[in-house]
Structure 1
Amino acid sequence: MAAITQPSVAIIIINWNNFNDTQKCLNSLKKCDYPNFQSIVVDNDSQDGSGRKLEDEFKDFAYFIFSDSNRGFTGGNNLGLKYALDQGFEYVMELNNDTEVEPDFITKLIDSIVDKPEYGAAQPLIYFNTPNRHIVWNAGGNYIRPLGISQTKYKNVKDSRFIKASETDWITGCAFLIKSEVIKKTGLLKEFYFFGSFEDVDLSMRIRNLGYKLWFEPSAVIYHSVGGSSKSKTKGKEGYLNPKVHYLTQRNQMIFINHHTPTIFKPVAVLTQVIKLLAYSLYFLVLWRPIKLKMVWKGFKDGLFKTYHD
Structure 2
Amino acid sequence: MTQPDVSILIVAYNAAESLSDCLESLAGSGKPVSSSEIIVVDNASEPSLVGLIERYVGRSQVIRLDENIGFGRACNLAASRSTGRNILLLNPDTIAHSGAIDTLLTAVREVENAGMVGGRTVTPSGDHDPRSCWGEPTMWSQLCFATGLSRLLKGNSVFDPESLGDWKRDTVRDVPVVTGCLALVPRNAWSAVGGFDMDYFMYGEDADLSKRLRRSGLRVWIEPGSVVTHVVGASSPNSGAKTTLLLAGRVTYLRKNFSVKEFHVARMLLTVGVAWRALGAGLLRRRDAGWLVAWRQRRQWLNGYPPYNGVDQSVPHF
Q: Which category of TM-score, normalised to the shorter sequence, fits these structures?
A: 0.7 to 0.9
Indicate if the aligned counterparts of 1:91 and 1:178 stay in contact, CA closer than 8 A: yes
How many Å apart are 1:7 and its aligned residue? 6.5
Instruction: Give runs of aligned pairs for residues 31-180 of structure 1, distance below 5 A.
Output: 31=28, 32-55=31-54, 57-60=55-58, 63-84=61-82, 87=83, 89-130=84-125, 133-147=126-140, 151-153=162-164, 160=168, 163-180=170-187
Once the two structures are TM-superposed, the CA of residue 292 in structure 1 deviates from its matched residue by 4.5
CA 1:137 to 1:187, structure 2 compared with 1: closer, same or farther past 3 Å?
Answer: same
Q: Which moved more, 1:274-283 or 1:140-149?
A: 140-149
Closer/same/farther in 2, CA of residues 52 and 7 from structure 1, 3 Å limit = closer
Higher relative contact order (CA 8 A, sep 6+): 2
Local SS of the residue matching 2:177: coil
* TM-score, normalised with respect to structure 1: 0.82
Distance 1:37 1:62, change over 3 A: farther
Q: CA deviation at 1:221?
A: 0.7
Distance 1:59 1:164, change over 3 A: closer
Q: Which moved more, 1:163-172 or 1:271-280?
A: 271-280
Sort the Cα spacing of 1:299 and 1:175 in 2 relative to 1 into closer, same or farther, 3 A.
farther
Deviation at 1:152, TM superposition (A): 3.5
Name the aligned partner's letter for residue 224 of structure 2.
Answer: P
Segments of structure 2 that go 5 or more residues without pairing to the other structure are 143-160, 309-318
Inter-partner Cα distance in structure 1 for 2:20 and 2:165: 29
**CA 1:48/1:227 → structure 2, altered by over 3 Å: closer, same or farther?**
same
Q: Quote the offset at 1:262 in angstroms.
A: 3.2
Name the SS of the counterpart of 1:124 in structure 2.
strand
* Higher share in strand: 1
Q: Look up the equivalent residue of 1:100 and give its one-letter code.
A: I
Q: What is the total number of aligned residue pairs between the two structures?
A: 285
Residue equivalent to 2:294: 296
Native 8 Å contact 2:252 2:305 kept in 1: no
Residue 26 (structure 1) shift:
0.8
Q: Given the superposition, is the C-alpha separation of residues 125 and 264 from structure 1 closer, same or farther in structure 2, using an over 3 Å criterion?
A: same
Which among 188, 200, 215 is matched to residue 221 of structure 2? 215
Answer with 287-296 or 102-111: which moved more.
287-296
Letter in 1 for 2:104: L
Shift of 1:266: 2.9
Secondary structure in 1 aligned to 2:210? Answer: helix
Give 1:290 shift. Answer: 6.8
CA deviation after TM superposition for structure 1 residue 249, in Å:
1.0
Give % identity. Answer: 22
Q: Which runs of 5+ in 1 are unaligned?
A: 1-5, 232-240
Contact 1:251 / 1:301 at 8 angstroms: preserved in 2? Answer: no
- Kept in 1, the 8 Å contact 2:91–2:180? The answer is yes
What residue in structure 2 maps to residue 238 of structure 1?
Answer: none
2-structure distance, mates of 1:113, 1:54: 29
Deviation (angstroms), 1:293 = 5.0
1:195-210 equivalences under 5 Å are 195=202, 197-210=203-216
* 1:98-153 deviation per Cα after TM superposition (whole angstroms, max 9, x unaligned): 000112011111112212122211001111123xx132333522114334657244
Q: Kindly state the Cα deviation for residue 301 of structure 1 after the two structures are TM-superposed.
A: 4.2
Verify the 8 A CA contact 1:170 1:200 in the aligned structure 2. yes
> In the alignment, which residue of structure 1 is the partner of 2:255?
258
Shift of 1:29: 0.9
- CA distance in 2 between partners of 1:147 and 1:140 (Å): 18
Distance 2:97 2:60 in 1: 18
Amino acid at match of 2:245: L
